[in-house]
């Protein structure tokens, strides 16, 4: 029911009375939290769904305007910003000036075709990348109708209540209603790099943005603590929306490889232009050819020799890789990562949720003098308690110590259990969820218990702190409950608590219990409490929790490894990639899980405190040998990345927390978790895993290797056709013989080959041994000795073929010059088609059924090119332009035979290659 008056007959926009939640105010920070809630007619239980829907219809989605796509005409114009196209246009104009109208027309037609193809390919690549970006939309934890729900941040409306915690990006402008040790990094908004402490109390109305401590602003990041906030502005009315309408531009399709290619292209263009000028001058001065003919020959040489299709094909190969990776749950945020993935030698990975399922189930509860086993799997609250050596179920309600521990575990806990579509789900942290489930198995009712013992204050769990503390009303006084990593809690306890009487703490015995549980691969948490009658201020601080606690017991929970991780780890090892576990968990648990997964060769585990005692040089010595790093913090992750890079390694690093940012940025490929990961981690990462699964990193590496392979294959294929054509023209001019291929014809070949045949290799599937090779050496040049050899070798073969066919038709068959050229051009194209099949495998033989016929894209383009060549040879229109002539059928037989011979010679060359070229990389 709406509570604001509605205008009966609005006469104009200005006179229409606004509902209170629409009334704009810039002074939310100066209002009391209650006043702000009242102003937006809401409570901390949130809006009802239908009311939220109405407000959404009125305010529109909570979106900032996206940076617009590059308009189509800009993309089209950008195609002409290319040295080769400019040379071609200059040549067309010069031809016009010299009244070579057909040449000028053909050159312009070719320019247009090349530009259009680049235009469409780039457009498709940009779209592919943009659609992937949309997979990374922001989500928000809201309270609506008293229920927590995870919704898309776009659906937030003024009046919504939002919960945020460390690592979250604030989804809209919030007036804080509750805040616990909240600090926000507001650099995105104010430029201030030091995080700001936030509070609930109002601040003066004239406070500047940076001093509005009672607000949390959209786009900023929570670096510590938790809070409940009231949405006061969404979308373009937020502070960040007002400052800038642009969120983030579409990432440029530029990667180091593309830049390297661009650079190489410019150098090549300069070399080729000089060769062309030299050739033209030589022709005029030595052989006395007419200048206009030499000009066209020079243009032909330039056009023929420059691989203009290459950048577009590389872009397509990268975009295809990005798409394939997204299909395998690896979302690329920065394009260069596609290339880097192929040379990864080490994957530093988190354990919980990445190697394991993050589906915790409490298996064991250790009390001061007895132990219980708990049955059941997953989050279904069905299971029983029994002693470890007798499977008969026991009644847990008869053990007050057990109930006390379970009650404490529910109170110092933010998770909730819910059933949706017949599936039990946890809202919140699965570690805490497992405790809720165990308590329900024991017959407790978490909501009732939480109502009876309201919480005054919280010290939120942070990985660095390793514990969480809450303050409650229990039996008329205040009780502090703490749960956390047992080794940490033992340092904070002075004794243990039991209904039979409290006792002194025997740390050694407890450490044995912890060790025994962790060796079974269980994650262990301890629970402790203390009464704090002395605490006047109900606001908890760390000092309150860190001493004088009484230990209640330990909880051991199992988190099974993911099904596909064992296979993925095996793949890594065969691919020369070392998986390394970095976890906040106990060393024993980490080692047990690592063994189950099968990637550990060494018995050695280093813990965070071990690393703290090591110099960077010592750590660099260990990093290549140790596979498990336990009890580590984000700072340790950063040190490990640096240590590995100092040893020349290339690494991927996973992360989810707000503090993982530096390690993710420093790693060669930072990988953030899509589900568990904070927005801060995603921002810092190159790649986001939609399913948080380690196996998806391995799939992405496989794709990365494939993309790089296909780019190498494309280069190895395209360069010889270009060099071959260029050489044919040059040799003919220098030797003073008739050109076997006219400049216009070279233009045709170049276009046909570059945009059809060359493209086929971008679609090649990965080779069977792609994950059995060692990682690629990142410093190895693209055009290494082997590639250069291959380019020169095949270029010479093509030139030989062209001159042989040309001479045979003219001299031995007595054909016309036009007929001989037609034969030479078809030889060049068909020879390239044969070499395309060779190029499917750079070093392995293509002489097998699979090698010859398994690629649909290769054969499709070969058929397409054959069709184009037939049209080029026989249609009067194209004959008129290119000077081609109908070839007798028998000539085709000779050309085909010569192409097959060329194919076989390259296959022979592969078998004679030295072994060192067979496996690229170190
Ligand atoms: P990773 O994801 O890197 O493998 P992790 O998730 O296992 O590490 P953390 O979440 O940093 O590591 O947890 C470290 C330790 O803190 C755990 O072993 C556990 O004992 C304790 N712990 C984990 N979650 C909580 C929590 N919600 N409250 C209290 N203690 C916790």
Measure CA 899 to chain center.
43
**602 CA distance to ligand 1 centroid (A)?**
24
350: annotated active-site residue: yes
**466 CA distance to ligand 1 centroid (A)?**
7
Nearby residues of 540 by Cβ (< 8 Å), 6 or more positions away? 456, 457, 458, 459, 469, 470, 471, 480
Residues 350, 399, 610, 692: which is the catalytic one? Answer: 350
Q: Residues 592-622: pLDDT tens digits?
A: 999 999 876 767 899 999 999 999 999 998 9
**659 CA distance to ligand 1 centroid (A)?**
14
Residues in contact with ligand 1 by the CB-under-6-Å rule are 350-352, 429, 431-432, 461, 463, 466-468, 483-485, 523, 525, 583-586
Tokens representing 631 are 């009890």
Cα gap 198→221, rounded to integer Å: 12
Is the pLDDT reported for residue 916 higher than 80? Answer: no
**851 CA distance to ligand 1 centroid (A)?**
50
Smallest CA separation from ligand 1 atom 14, residue: 584
Instruction: Scan for tokens 């590389």, then name that residue.
Output: 314
According to the model, what pLDDT value does residue 697 have? 94
Average of per-residue pLDDT across 232-256: 62
Short-list 770, 907, 766, CA closest to 839: 907
Q: Residues 735-765: pLDDT tens digits?
A: 888 889 887 888 788 877 766 888 888 888 8
Pocket test of ligand 1: the residue of 427, 435, 466, 593 to mutate, having most ligand atoms within 8 Å of its CB, is 466
DSSP codes joined into one string, 218-236: TT-EEEEEEEEEEEEE-GG
Strands 651-655 and 346-349: parallel
Q: How confident is the model at residue 130 (pLDDT cuts 50, 70, 90)?
A: low
Tokens representing 444 are 């407790």
According to the model, what pLDDT value does residue 23 have? 44
Q: Residues 855-903: pLDDT tens digits?
A: 888 999 999 999 999 999 999 998 988 889 999 999 999 999 999 999 9
Least confident of 129-138, 559-568, 687-696: 129-138
According to the model, what pLDDT value does residue 602 have? 67
| 582 CA: nearest ligand 1 atom | 3
**119 CA distance to ligand 1 centroid (A)?**
50
According to the model, what pLDDT value does residue 501 have? 85
Is the pLDDT reported for residue 249 higher than 50? Answer: no
According to the model, what pLDDT value does residue 402 have? 95
Q: How confident is the model at residue 66 (pLDDT cuts 50, 70, 90)?
A: low
According to the model, what pLDDT value does residue 21 have? 45
Smallest CA separation from ligand 1 atom 30, residue: 484
Cα gap 219→235, rounded to integer Å: 11
Tokens representing 409 are 């575990």
Tokens representing 841 are 């495998």
Least confident of 134-143, 219-228, 448-457, 618-627: 134-143
Pocket test of ligand 1: the residue of 432, 463, 542, 689 to mutate, having most ligand atoms within 8 Å of its CB, is 463
- Quote the pTM value: 0.78
- CA gyration radius for the chain? 35
Asked if 184 and 226 count as a contact pair (C-beta separation under 8 A), the reply is: no
Q: How confident is the model at residue 4 (pLDDT cuts 50, 70, 90)?
A: very low
According to the model, what pLDDT value does residue 292 have? 80
Pocket test of ligand 1: the residue of 481, 585, 608 to mutate, having most ligand atoms within 8 Å of its CB, is 585
Average pLDDT across the chain, whole number: 85
Strands 493-496 and 503-504: antiparallel
According to the model, what pLDDT value does residue 22 have? 46
**Angle value at C-alpha 838, between 835 and 839, nearest 5 degrees:** 90
Determine the 3-state secondary structure of 735 from DSSP: helix
Nearby residues of 814 by Cβ (< 8 Å), 6 or more positions away? none
Short-list 275, 252, 254, CA closest to 263: 254
Cα gap 217→170, rounded to integer Å: 6
Distances (CA, A) of 576 to 52, 774, 861: 53, 5, 35
Distances (CA, A) of 286 to 282, 730, 740: 5, 14, 19
Cα gap 840→141, rounded to integer Å: 50
Determine the 3-state secondary structure of 212 from DSSP: coil
Average of per-residue pLDDT across 400-407: 95
According to the model, what pLDDT value does residue 823 have? 96
According to the model, what pLDDT value does residue 728 have? 87
Pocket test of ligand 1: the residue of 584, 607, 692 to mutate, having most ligand atoms within 8 Å of its CB, is 584
Sequence length of the chain is 922
Q: Which residue has the higher pLDDT, 750 or 673?
A: 673
Short-list 650, 518, 657, CA closest to 595: 518
According to the model, what pLDDT value does residue 500 have? 85
Is the pLDDT reported for residue 251 higher than 70? Answer: no
Percent of the chain with pLDDT over 90: 43
Determine the 3-state secondary structure of 866 from DSSP: helix
Average of per-residue pLDDT across 132-150: 78
Domains of the chain by start residue, with CATH: 31-60+138-248 (2.70.150.10), 326-356+563-700 (3.40.50.1000), 369-533 (3.40.1110.10)
Is the pLDDT reported for residue 484 higher than 90? Answer: yes
Is the pLDDT reported for residue 490 higher than 90? Answer: yes
Distance linking the first and last C-alpha atoms of the chain:
71
**86 CA distance to ligand 1 centroid (A)?**
60
According to the model, what pLDDT value does residue 72 have? 78
| 631 CA: nearest ligand 1 atom | 14
Cα gap 6→206, rounded to integer Å: 32
According to the model, what pLDDT value does residue 65 have? 56
Q: What is the DSSP letter of 211?
A: G
Asked if 557 and 586 count as a contact pair (C-beta separation under 8 A), the reply is: no
Q: Residues 347-388: pLDDT tens digits?
A: 999 998 899 998 899 999 999 889 999 999 889 999 999 998
Cα gap 501→572, rounded to integer Å: 54
3-state secondary structure 150-209: EEEHHHCCCCCEEEEECCCECCCEEEEEEEEEEEEECHHHHCCCCCEECCCCCCCCCCCH
Nearby residues of 744 by Cβ (< 8 Å), 6 or more positions away? 102, 103, 106, 107, 296, 300, 881, 882, 883
Cα gap 410→435, rounded to integer Å: 7
Q: Nearest 10 degrees: CA dihedral of 160, 166, 167, 171?
A: 10
Provide the angle, in degrees to the nearest 10, between the axes of the packed helices 694-735 and 817-839. Answer: 160
According to the model, what pLDDT value does residue 133 have? 56
Determine the 3-state secondary structure of 230 from DSSP: strand
Q: Which residue has the higher pLDDT, 393 or 919?
A: 393
Distances (CA, A) of 339 to 134, 713, 775: 22, 15, 12
Q: What is the DSSP letter of 589?
A: H
**465 CA distance to ligand 1 centroid (A)?**
10
| 590 CA: nearest ligand 1 atom | 4
């Amino acid at each position: 029911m709406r509570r604001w008056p509605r205008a009966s007959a609005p006469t104009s926009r200005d006179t229409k009375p606004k509902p209170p939640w629409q009334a704009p105010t810039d002074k939310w920070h100066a209002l009391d939290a209650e006043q702000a809630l009242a102003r937006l007619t809401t409570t901390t239980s949130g809006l009802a769904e239908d009311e939220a829907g109405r407000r959404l219809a009125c305010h529109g989605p909570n979106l900032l305007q996206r940076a617009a796509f590059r308009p189509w005409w800009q993309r089209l114009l950008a195609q002409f910003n290319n040295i080769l196209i400019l040379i071609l246009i200059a040549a067309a104009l010069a031809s016009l000036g010299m009244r070579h109208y057909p040449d000028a027309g053909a050159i312009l037609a070719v320019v247009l075709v090349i530009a259009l193809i680049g235009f469409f390919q780039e457009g498709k690549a940009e779209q592919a990348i943009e659609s992937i970006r949309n997979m990374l939309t922001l989500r928000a934890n809201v309270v609506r109708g008293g229920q927590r729900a995870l919704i898309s941040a776009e659906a937030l409306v003024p009046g919504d209540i939002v919960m945020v915690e460390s690592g979250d990006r604030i989804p809209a402008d919030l007036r804080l209603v509750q805040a616990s040790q909240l600090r926000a990094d507001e650099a995105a908004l104010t430029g201030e790099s030091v995080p700001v402490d936030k509070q609930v109390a109002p601040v003066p109305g004239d406070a500047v943005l940076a001093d509005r401590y009672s607000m949390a602003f959209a786009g900023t990041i929570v670096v510590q603590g938790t809070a409940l906030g009231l949405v006061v502005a969404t979308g373009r009315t937020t502070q960040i929306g007002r400052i800038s309408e642009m969120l983030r531009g579409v990432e440029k399709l530029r990667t180091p490889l593309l830049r390297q290619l661009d650079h190489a292209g410019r150098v090549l263009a300069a070399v080729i232009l000089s060769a062309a000028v030299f050739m033209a001058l030589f022709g005029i001065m030595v052989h006395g050819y007419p200048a206009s003919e030499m000009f066209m020959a020079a243009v032909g040489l330039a056009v023929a020799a420059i691989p203009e299709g290459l950048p577009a094909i590389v872009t397509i190969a990268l975009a295809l890789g990005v798409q394939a990776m997204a299909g395998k749950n690896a979302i690329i945020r920065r394009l260069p990562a596609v290339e880097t993935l192929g040379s990864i030698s080490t994957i530093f990975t988190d354990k919980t949720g990445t190697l394991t399922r993050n589906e915790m189930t409490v298996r064991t509860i250790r009390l001061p003098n007895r132990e219980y086993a708990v049955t059941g799997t997953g989050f279904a609250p069905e299971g029983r308690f029994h002693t470890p050596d007798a499977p008969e179920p026991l009644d847990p309600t008869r053990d007050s110590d057990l109930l006390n521990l379970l009650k404490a575990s529910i109170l110092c806990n933010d998770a909730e259990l819910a059933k949706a579509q017949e599936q039990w789900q946890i809202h919140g942290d699965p570690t805490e969820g497992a405790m809720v489930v165990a308590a329900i198995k024991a017959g407790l009712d978490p909501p009732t218990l939480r109502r009876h013992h309201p919480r005054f204050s919280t010290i939120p769990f942070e990985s660095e702190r390793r514990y969480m503390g809450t303050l409650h009303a229990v039996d008329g006084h205040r009780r502090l409950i703490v749960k956390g990593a047992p080794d940490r809690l033992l340092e904070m306890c002075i004794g243990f608590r039991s209904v039979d009487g409290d006792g002194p703490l025997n740390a050694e015995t407890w450490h044995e219990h912890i060790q025994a549980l962790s060796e079974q691969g269980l994650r262990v948490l301890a629970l402790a409490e203390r009464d704090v009658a002395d605490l006047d201020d109900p606001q908890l601080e760390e000092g309150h929790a860190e001493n004088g606690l009484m230990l209640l017991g330990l909880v051991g929970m199992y988190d099974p490894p993911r099904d596909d991780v064992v296979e993925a780890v095996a793949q890594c090892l065969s691919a020369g990639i070392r998986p390394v576990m970095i976890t906040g968990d106990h060393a024993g648990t980490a080692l047990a899980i690592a063994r189950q997964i099968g990637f550990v060769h060494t018995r050695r585990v280093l813990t965070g405190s071990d690393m703290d005692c090591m110099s960077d040089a010592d750590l660099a010595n260990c990093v290549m040998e140790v596979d498990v790093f336990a009890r580590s913090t984000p700072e340790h992750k950063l040190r490990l990345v640096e240590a590995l890079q100092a040893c020349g390694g290339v690494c991927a690093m996973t992360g989810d927390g707000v503090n993982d940012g530096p390690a993710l940025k420093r790693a060669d490929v930072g990988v953030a978790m899509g589900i568990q990961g904070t927005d801060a981690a995603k921002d810092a990462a190159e790649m986001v895993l939609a399913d948080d699964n380690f196996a998806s990193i391995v799939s992405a590496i496989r794709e990365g290797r494939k993309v790089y392979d296909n780019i190498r294959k494309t280069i190895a294929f395209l360069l010889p056709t270009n060099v071959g054509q260029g050489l044919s023209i040059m040799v003919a001019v220098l030797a003073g013989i008739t050109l076997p291929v006219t400049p216009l014809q070279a233009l045709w070949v170049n276009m046909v080959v570059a945009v059809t045949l060359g493209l086929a290799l971008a679609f090649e599937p990965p080779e069977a041994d792609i994950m059995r090779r060692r990682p690629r050496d990142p410093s190895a040049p693209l055009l290494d000795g082997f590639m250069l050899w291959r380019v020169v070798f095949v270029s010479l073969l093509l030139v030989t073929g062209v001159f042989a066919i040309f001479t045979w038709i003219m001299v031995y068959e007595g054909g016309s010059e036009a007929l001989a050229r037609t034969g030479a051009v078809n030889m060049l194209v068909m020879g390239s088609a044969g070499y395309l099949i060779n190029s499917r495998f750079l070093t392995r033989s293509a002489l097998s059924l699979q090698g010859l016929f398994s690629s649909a894209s290769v054969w499709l383009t070969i058929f397409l090119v054959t069709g184009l060549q037939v049209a080029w040879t026989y249609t009067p229109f194209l004959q008129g332009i290119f000077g081609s002539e109908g070839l007798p059928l028998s000539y085709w037989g000779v050309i085909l035979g010569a192409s097959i011979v060329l194919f076989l010679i390259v296959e022979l060359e592969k078998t004679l290659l030295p072994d060192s070229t067979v496996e690229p990389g170190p």
